[in-house]
């Protein structure tokens, strides 16, 4: 167990990525049998940290037998805490000597004291420790100080990795008591959003299926339940040290690197849905936004089922064209133009991007940015109420559930025929 480490005085906000890996966090070597390194960033979590650690200390195999303590370790980094978080962690370690728990305290300069940098520091450390054991397929697993992992959280991650996944996003559920304490409108928005995103995830599995991420699956890939092999972590350059949405940026980096990502429903955690969180633009901020929307009676607007369905079909068709191009086969550029019309972007521009992109997801990220810049997609597919979108998505999903699997990707348009708008495809 380590109480604290010094922080280098010299740093540059632009060079965080360079010096972050150089900061040593733990001097003691990992156990020779260690396969999983769990990281837990903490900022003033004295009220919840004991439950978080107890859940990690009580892990089981999938058959309910105790998980071998030597196969995993846990690193807690108490970042700029003004409460007893670090002390509570040290006390827990002393009371559970067979549990490999490392407590690190750090005070970062205010301008860089964010969860993105902290998570990067910890995941870098975990990666180095696994490589020191010559385990490139060793697992870096991330959760949060206000979250409690299910009893088989680690075992389920190991199972998914054994099935060939490079990274796993776990199902993150909110504490029932916290949901009850929400404003009525905020609670309704939260539950509707969960249903909405689940329907999209299922529709995606029909219209643009991923062989490594089939049903059952969910839609989350966030820091409270995220795992990646050390090898893949290195391949993508580590966790982006950015102040907000670092986990989403990391997920996108994994996709662009062709990582086999699994949204596993068997990897579960319970997390806090408190009205004031520790990370900017997290769930707490969203709950506050929904609460204010309820006061002013603003509707919860989201993408329509038609927009989602069209985008998924276009993406599937584009993936096929990309595969042909990557294999050196002749591509029918008229088909590229047809996909461009579906996505409301320039066909000539898309042809150029296909020739320049390094991976399919790099290409699709450029398309999404282009859509945002031009705004034609948004004009053609205006946002709609979440209630209406959920109802339409339910109809689409029900339709696909009744169809033979072999016919699902070839379906034309289930909701309505695509109505092209006036757009110059060669500008």
* Top mean-pLDDT range of 43-57, 168-182, 285-299: 43-57
Domain ranges of the chain: 13-183+201-275, 302-410
Alpha helices in 101-229 (DSSP H): 115-132, 153-162, 176-181, 184-207
Q: Which residue has the tokens 């927009």?
A: 307
Rounded to two decimals, what is the model's pTM?
0.88
> What number is the average pLDDT over the span 110-133?
93
Q: What is the pLDDT of residue 188?
A: 94
Q: How do the residues of the chain divide into helix, strand and coil, expressed in percent and rounded to 5?
A: 50, 15, 35
> What number is the average pLDDT over the span 293-311?
95
Cβ atoms within 10 Å of 46's Cβ, excluding its own: 18
Cα–Cα dist 144/173, whole Å: 13
Each residue's pLDDT tens digit, 53-90: 999 999 999 999 999 999 999 999 999 999 999 999 99
**Pairing mode, strands 36-42 and 72-79:** parallel
The domain made up of 13-183+201-275 has a fold known as: Spore Coat Polysaccharide Biosynthesis Protein SpsA; Chain A (3.90.550)
pLDDT cut 90: percent of the chain above it: 78
């Amino acid at each position: 167990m380590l109480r604290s480490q010094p922080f280098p005085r010299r740093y540059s906000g632009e060079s965080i990525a360079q010096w972050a890996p150089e900061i040593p966090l733990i001097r003691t070597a990992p156990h020779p049998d260690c396969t999983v390194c769990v990281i837990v960033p903490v900022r003033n979590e004295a009220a919840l940290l004991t439950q978080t650690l107890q859940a990690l200390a009580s892990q089981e195999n999938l058959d309910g037998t105790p998980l071998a303590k030597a196969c995993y370790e846990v690193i807690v980094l108490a970042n700029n805490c003004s409460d007893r978080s670090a002390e509570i962690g040290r006390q827990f370690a002393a009371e559970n000597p067979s549990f490999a728990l490392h407590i690190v305290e750090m005070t970062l300069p205010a301008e860089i004291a964010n969860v993105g940098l902290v998570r990067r520091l910890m995941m870098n450390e975990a990666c180095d420790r696994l490589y020191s054991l010559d385990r490139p397929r060793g697992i870096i697993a991330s959760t949060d100080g206000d979250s409690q992992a299910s009893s088989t959280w680690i075992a389920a991650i190991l199972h998914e990795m054994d099935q060939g996944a490079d990274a796993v996003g776990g199902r993150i559920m909110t504490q029932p008591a916290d949901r009850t304490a929400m404003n009525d409108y905020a609670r309704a928005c939260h539950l509707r959003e969960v249903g909405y995103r689940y329907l999209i995830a299922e529709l995606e599995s029909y219209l643009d299926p991923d062989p490594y991420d089939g049903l059952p699956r969910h839609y989350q890939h966030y820091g409270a339940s995220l795992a990646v092999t050390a090898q893949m972590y290195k391949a993508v350059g580590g966790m982006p040290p950015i102040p907000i949405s670092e986990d989403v940026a990391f997920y996108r980096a994994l996709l662009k690197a062709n990582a086999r990502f699994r949204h596993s429903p068997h990897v579960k955690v319970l997390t806090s849905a408190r009205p004031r969180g520790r990370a900017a633009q997290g769930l707490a901020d969203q709950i506050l936004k929904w609460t204010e929307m309820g006061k002013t009676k603003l509707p919860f607007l989201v993408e329509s089922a038609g927009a989602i369905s069209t985008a998924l079909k276009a993406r599937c068709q584009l993936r096929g064209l990309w595969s042909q191009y990557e294999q050196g086969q002749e591509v029918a550029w008229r088909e590229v133009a047809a996909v461009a019309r579906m996505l409301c972007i320039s066909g000539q521009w898309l042809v150029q991007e296909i020739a320049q992109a390094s991976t399919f997801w790099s290409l699709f990220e450029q398309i999404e940015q282009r859509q945002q810049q031009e705004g034609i997609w948004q004009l053609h597919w205006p946002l709609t109420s979440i209630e209406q979108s959920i109802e339409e998505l339910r109809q689409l999903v029900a339709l696909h559930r009744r169809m033979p699997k072999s016919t699902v990707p070839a379906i034309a348009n289930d909701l309505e025929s695509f109505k092209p708008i006036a757009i110059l495809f060669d500008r």
